[in-house]
Structure formats: C-alpha cells, structure tokens
C-alpha cells in the first residue's frame, strides 16, 4: 500500500483553488438565474430594456385606420352621388333648353304662318271688294228701279198692307228693304214717302228682326218710337215716316195699315 504525503504549503494552495472555483461557479449560476429571470419577468417599469411592447398601444391606431377607411368610402359615395345628380340636373336643363327652343321655334313659325294667312286674307278681302265695286259699277237696274251702291230699289206707286207689300216683293224675286247703313237710310228717306221696310216684331214683342231673320243692330227711330200705341195695341211693323229727320224717321205701325213699300234687290 502506497502512502501519499502532502506538503503544508501545497495543501493550502489547493484549498484556496477550491474556494475560488466554488465562488466562481456560484457567481456564474447567480448571473445565469438573473438573466433567465430578466428574460421571463413581466415589464414592471420603463427602465426594463428586455420587456416586450404592450399590444394595447396598437389598438387606437387600428380604430383610427378603420374609421378613416369608412370616411373614405362615405366620401367616395357622396362624390359619386354628387356627380350623378349633377349629370341628371345637366341632362334635365339640356332637355328643358331643347324644349324651350322647340317651343320658341314653333311659336315663331306659328306667328309667321298666322301673319301670312292674315296677309292673304286681307289681300283676298281687298280683291273681293274691288271686284264687288266693279260689279256694282257695271250693274244696271231694271226699268223703274233705283240704283244705290250695290242694290236696286223698287218704290211702289200704290199702297198695301205690310204683308201684301212683302208678297209683291217676293213675286219680284226680292224682299222688303233691309237697311244696313246711315247712307242707305238717307237715300231711302229722300223719296219723301211713307213706305214699309222689312222690319217687324210679330214673332216676339219688342224683339225686332229683319225679314231675313237677322236682329236689329242699327236703329233710326224717331222719339218716342217704338211705342206700340196704335188703336189695336199691336204696332208690329215699321215704316219710314217722311215728316221726320233722315236719321230719326222710323215709326212702328199696325201691319194692317196701307202704305207704299220698297223692295230691295242686292247684286
């Protein structure tokens, strides 16, 4: 059996080495634990350099981004609607302008056509009057008839009732005279006779009509005629009275009275 002997000084050196190794190992383990603890520990303060960033800080930015996106979509929709309605309004204005122009053109054309028709009517009227006057000038009345303007007048030499006087005119192809103007009234008054004319209210009292059915519009009564004041109370026929003024010479008289009469033949 071998025996190991140690020098005292060598022994002391070995002990010192053991203590140093132990301290070194302990220090290494402590450092390792601190690192592991630091890596796994939660973020407890602003000075911790190894803590993970808190995810709650990202939430406001996410909400803002979503809100901003919705605003963009809404703005795009508003812009689209604005463009659409502007286009609709413009189309409506264009159609209204076209319609207005069409109406204006139609009105202009209608006015022009109306003026042309009026001019043609006036020209035809003038031509008719010219031909009428020419015909009147060349008209010859039969013997015993008097000419005035475009009519021929027969003044009877005998006297009859209003009805018989009219019958005589009808047999001649004419009728009792119808007075249309003051010139004609003055012409007839100048015969200086009491004569029947073709005016009566026998159908309806106080509704005076000419023998052709036209109502009375121009009157030449002398005051206070018509008064219907005959002995029979029925003065339904009219005469020109020679003793009055030319334009105030009509008198209502009983149709059974006998007077001269005037027939008129219009050319």
The pLDDT, as a whole number, for residue 46 is 46
Residue count of the chain, please give it.
267
| Residue 145 to residue 151: CA distance in whole angstroms | 10
The pLDDT, as a whole number, for residue 238 is 97
From 13-27, 49-63, 174-188, the region with the lowest mean pLDDT: 13-27
Enumerate the domain spans of the chain: 67-134, 145-266
- Comparing C-alpha atoms, which of 153, 189, 166 is closest to residue 265? 153
| Residue 178 to residue 181: CA distance in whole angstroms | 10
| Residue 262 to residue 154: CA distance in whole angstroms | 5
pLDDT digits (tens, 9 = 90+) for 119-130: 999 999 888 878
Structure tokens at 240: 């020109």
pLDDT digits (tens, 9 = 90+) for 69-111: 888 888 888 888 888 888 888 888 888 888 888 777 777 888 8
Coil, helix or strand for 193? Answer: coil
The pLDDT, as a whole number, for residue 12 is 52
| Residue 193 to residue 239: CA distance in whole angstroms | 10
| Residue 25 to residue 10: CA distance in whole angstroms | 23
Secondary element (H or E) of residue 25: helix 8-40
What is this structure's pTM? 0.54
Structure tokens at 181: 């103007």
Domain 145-266 architecture: Roll (3.10)
pLDDT digits (tens, 9 = 90+) for 134-176: 777 777 888 899 999 889 999 999 999 999 999 999 999 999 9
The pLDDT, as a whole number, for residue 6 is 46
How large a percentage of the chain has pLDDT more than 90? 39
């Amino acid at each position: 059996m071998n025996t190991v002997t140690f020098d005292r000084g060598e022994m002391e050196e070995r002990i010192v080495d053991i203590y140093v190794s132990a301290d070194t190992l302990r220090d290494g383990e402590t450092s390792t634990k601190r690192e592991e603890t630091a890596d796994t520990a939660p973020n407890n303060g602003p000075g911790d350099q190894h803590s993970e960033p808190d995810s709650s800080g990202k939430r406001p930015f996410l909400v803002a981004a979503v809100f901003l996106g919705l605003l963009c979509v809404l703005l795009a929709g508003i812009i689209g609607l604005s463009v659409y309605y502007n286009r609709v309004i413009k189309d409506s204005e264009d159609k209204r302008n076209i319609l207005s122009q069409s109406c204006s053109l139609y009105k202009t054309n209608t006015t022009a056509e109306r003026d042309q028709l009026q001019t043609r009517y006036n020209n035809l009227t003038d031509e008719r009057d010219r031909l009428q006057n020419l015909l009147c000038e060349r008209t010859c009345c039969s013997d015993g008839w008097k000419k005035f303007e475009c009519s021929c007048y027969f003044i009877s030499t005998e006297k009859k009732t209003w009805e018989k006087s009219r019958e005589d005119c009808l047999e001649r192809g004419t009728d009792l005279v119808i007075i249309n103007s003051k010139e004609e009234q003055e012409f007839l008054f100048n015969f200086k006779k009491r004569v029947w004319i073709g005016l009566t209210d026998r159908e309806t009292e106080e509704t005076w009509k000419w023998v052709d059915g036209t109502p009375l519009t121009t009157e030449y009564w002398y005051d206070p005629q018509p008064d219907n004041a005959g002995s029979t109370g029925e003065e339904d026929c009219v005469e020109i009275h020679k003793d009055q003024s030319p334009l105030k010479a009509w008198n209502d008289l009983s149709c059974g009275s006998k007077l001269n009469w005037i027939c008129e033949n219009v050319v």
